[in-house]
Amino acid sequence: MTGTTTDHPTSSAPVVPAARGPLSASLLAALTSAQQDAPDPGDVGTADPYGEDLQLALYVLYELHYRGFAGVAEDREWDPALMPLRQAMEMRFLNALRADVPAGRSTDEVFAELLVEPTDHRDSVAHFLEHEGELWQIREYAALRSLYHLKEADPHAWVIPRLRGRAKAGMVAIEYDEFGAGRAENIHAHLFAQLMADLDLDTRYGHYVEAVPAPALAVVNVMSLFGLHRALRGALVGHFACVEVTSSPGSRRLASAMRRTGAGPAAEHFYAEHVEADAVHEQVVRREVVGGLLEEEPHLDPDVAFGAAATVHLENRLASHILKSWRAGRPTLLKG
């Protein structure tokens, strides 16, 4: 299927990023040249599942489902030649997560841990920024998070047609708030763009992809991985619930960090808004979304638990990467 609409993506689409290894190089060549074949899925078997090459390649394929890339035809989104490659990378990533995330815990057990804020804050990026972070570190953190926050709630919307009853109603209620409750100026992605403007960052969608390292790409990719597969709907609900349950305390610290460093009113407002909104969302997601889903489909309990635990695992890897860099006086971004 080709034509004027598919061959000419919108001008708001980000530019194709530079490759970070043979896998992403072959993929990007195939996307930008009709003469280049898609990479062999067999090449994925030796790739680091958390590494720069695979995570960038997976991010690029997932972005074809969002806004695409300038110079890449829109009908590549479901190109059959690319699907075996995406599936191979997804399985490599998913298998690594299943191997690294403790199994055998119930949803109740996982969320019982999440509801207790740790007393040891040495591994908390939000705590670091609140008490000792400098403005350049605030800016780096915003750039890292921009790959998700400029499309905030979009990956989770894929689960809505896969839910029923209380779970669907609760999910839609939360997403309605995330998308501004009917007011474009209150869409959370727009509020984050204003935060970035306060910090003198480029607000264009996907602009910082070339600067964002693999641990941050993995945090974004896991949402699309869960969202694009109906079989992983329980994991996506677990991911969403984990984010909502843990957001309010962290957002409170980040709002304080924005205020202390003079980041600007819009920067502070973004996180202050999440303190209030996510405190309400926590109750809805636990009782209605998770509770409703498991009432309808109790066999998904291990999947919900896995989705939440995988989220914690990836966020911890990212936090470790960030804090190790900052405490050594190094930037965490790959480029400025």
Give the start-to-end residue ranges of the domains of the chain: 4-98, 104-327
Counting every residue written for the chain, the total comes to 336
The structure's pTM equals: 0.93
Position of tokens 């972005």? 63
Mean pLDDT, to the nearest integer, of 207-230? 97
| Distance from C-alpha of 261 to C-alpha of 286, rounded to nearest angstrom | 34
The residue-averaged pLDDT of 117-121 equals 77
Dihedral angle, C-alpha 206, 208, 214, 218, nearest 10 °: -30
Cα 271 to Cα 73, 141, 250, 319: the distances in Å are 36, 13, 9, 18
> What pLDDT is stored for residue 55 in this prediction?
98
Distance between CA atoms of 165 and 287, rounded to whole angstroms? 13
Q: Is the CB of residue 92 less than 8 Å from the CB of residue 49?
A: yes
For domain 104-327, give the fold. Heme Oxygenase; Chain A (1.20.910)
Does pLDDT of 116 surpass 90?
no
pLDDT tens sequence across 150-180: 999 999 999 999 999 999 999 999 999 999 9
Q: Mean pLDDT lowest for which of 83-97, 99-113, 266-280?
A: 266-280
> How far apart (Å, rounded) are the C-alpha atoms in residues 208 and 143?
6
For position 278, what pLDDT does the model report?
Answer: 65
